[in-house]
Amino acid sequence: MTDVGTLLAGARQGRIAYIARLLSIIENEEPEAADIIRLTYAQTGRAIVVGFTGPPGSGKSTLVSAITALYRRTAARVAVVAVDPSSPYTGGAILGDRIRMRERYLDTGVFIRSMANRGTSGGLARATRRVVGILDALGFDVVLVETVGVGQQEIDVSRVVDTVCLLTIPGAGDDIQAIKAGIMEIADVLVVNKADRPGADETARDLIQMLTLGSPRLAWRTPVVKTSAEDGTGIEELIAAIDKHRAWAEESGEARRRNADAMRHDIQALLQERVLQDLATRVGKQKLDDVVLRVVDKTLDPYGAVDALLRD
| Residues 84 and 52 sit within 8 Å (Cβ to Cβ) | no
| Residues 123 and 129 sit within 8 Å (Cβ to Cβ) | no
End-to-end, the C-alpha distance of the chain in Å comes to 34
Domains and CATH numbers, the chain: 1-42 (no CATH), 44-251 (3.40.50.300), 263-311 (no CATH)
> Strand order in 224-226's β-sheet?
110-116, 78-84, 142-146, 48-53, 163-168, 189-192, 224-226
- pLDDT band at residue 171 using 50, 70 and 90 as cut-offs: confident
**Angular region, 111: left φ>0, alpha ψ -120 to 50, beta rest:** beta
Residue 216 has pLDDT above 70, yes or no: no
Residue 100 has pLDDT above 90, yes or no: no
pLDDT tens-place string over residues 242-288: 999 999 999 999 999 999 999 998 899 889 988 888 888 888 889 99
